[in-house]
Amino acid sequence: MLKVNLKKSVTLLILLFLISSVSVHAQWGYSNTPVSVIVAPDHDDWNYKIGENVDFTITVLKYGNPVKNAKVSYKVMPEKMEPRISEEKTLSKGIHTVKAGTMKVPGFLRCSVIAEVDGKIYTGTATAAFEPEKIQPTTTMPKDFVEFWDKAKVEASEIPMLPEMELIPELSDKDVNTYHVNIRNYRANAKVYGVLSVPTKPGKYPAIIKVPGAGVWGHFMVQDEHVKKGVITFEIRIHGVSVINEDGGLYGDLWNGALWDYWNINLDNKDHYYYKRVYLGCVRAVDFVTSLDEYDGNNLAVYGGSQGGALSIVTAALDDRIKYLVCYYPAMSDLTGYLHGRAGGWPHLFDKTNAPLNNTPERIETSKYYDVVNFARLLKVPGFYGWGYNDAVCPPTSMFSAYNVITAPKILDIMPDEGHFSYNEQKEKANEWVLDKLMNN
């Protein structure tokens, strides 16, 4: 029987949650400290017409009151680009208005603030949107894009799946059976690992495949929320290693070793790029879920954020057995934006740091076969999408580049001040939407 150190797994989950919380608070200035840096544009919805001026108001608060003589530095720039305005001020009354100007093309103008109070540093950000619904991608679709992926899927389907399932007692009870699963993928000995949760009550159920954000990490050893609603869930990871490790050390070793910058591996060859196995692994996850006796045979969704948001679009585009998708702040969208003077999607393959390595004809061409924009063009199923304008990991310009080419039914829930995270209110909307689709169709 698979041995699982629940105490260590829960400790790892708590650590990751704390790290995530600290990074969000540090990036956007909302924290459990007595000082807050609030940055806000002068339109309540943060939306502007091209040519319309935006004013950002900076307020530095301590115990809810303005901090007199607070020292701040601020920059105004199109996201990820060089600053248009860079200034330092002492705010005699703790408040200041920045006249930031406008934009002449669709996009986003960001005001980022650093404040010093009592010798400590605090930050805040706001981002104004200028007609983002008009943003168009910079990447193009190769003529053989569909042929390339059709051929890859056929080749991968010839590999026997050979699923292995082992019960995880700590995550199972009278209502749910949870299993550690691996299935063959892409090459004879390559695998996809994941955690499958199935209701114990006999019957047929809809299903959700959950695809992961970036990084190298295991399962958090928490029972899935959707299986409690009567939905089969299969939560996968992308790196072909067990998702349950007793002390978590394996993931750190891989992250800092062989899988460091995995998104750059073999980028100069579309047939051997790292994400080829990843994308095909998502299709193989569909193969597995649809083979289960408990699956209802029709209602299947894919669900993810960031890298997982990218994979949700990719999976739905590659496999017509997917009927619905939920996508938060999708990565890997319009990767070549940086080569056209604007922000590109995570992992920022062509920004000023990475361009010296990646700005070659071969790598640019490979990126087109993996850019989420080109999968978004192929979508045929309804989707729920959600993000915010303050995202510094997946720039909203890149996300709108993908969203705007989708012709399938779509819902976009924007909460402007979100960074690279989702508020509970947005998650609740997405969950209500996908459960309604899965249960009532």
Q: Name the residues annotated as catalytic.
A: 306, 391, 420
Beta-sheet strands, E only, within 349-418: 383-387, 410-414
DSSP state of 346: T
Pairing mode, strands 35-41 and 107-117: unpaired
| Contact by Cβ (8 Å): 313, 374 | no
305 Cβ contact partners less than 8 Å away, ≥ 6 residues apart? 213, 327, 328, 329, 422
Locate all alpha helices (DSSP H) within 163-301, ordered by sequence: 249-255, 274-290
> What are the start-end ranges of the E strands in 215-280?
232-236
Paired sense of beta strands 95-101 and 120-130, if any: unpaired
Give the residue among 112, 115, 96, 110 at the shortest CA–CA distance from 33.
115
Q: Tell me how far apart the alpha carbons of residues 141 and 369 are, in angstroms, rounded to a whole number.
A: 7
Beta strands 95-101; 65-66: pairing state: unpaired
CB 237 within 8 A of CB 214: no
Give the DSSP per-residue string, 143-154: TTHHHHHHHHHH
CA 339 and chain centroid, separation: 22
Residue with tokens 């192929």: 378
In degrees and rounded to multiples of 5, residue 59 shows phi and psi of: -130, 125
Q: How many CB atoms lie within 10 A of CB 312?
A: 31
Please, are residues 270 and 230 in contact by the beta-carbon 8 Å criterion?
no
For residue 95, the one-letter residue type is I
Distance CA 58, CA 40 (A): 7
Q: What is each CA distance from 51 to 40, 46, 102, 387, in whole angstroms? A: 19, 15, 6, 24
Q: Does the N-terminal peptide bond of residue 137 adopt cis geometry, omega within 30 degrees of 0?
A: no
Work out whether the CA dihedral 74, 76, 77, 82 comes out positive or negative.
negative
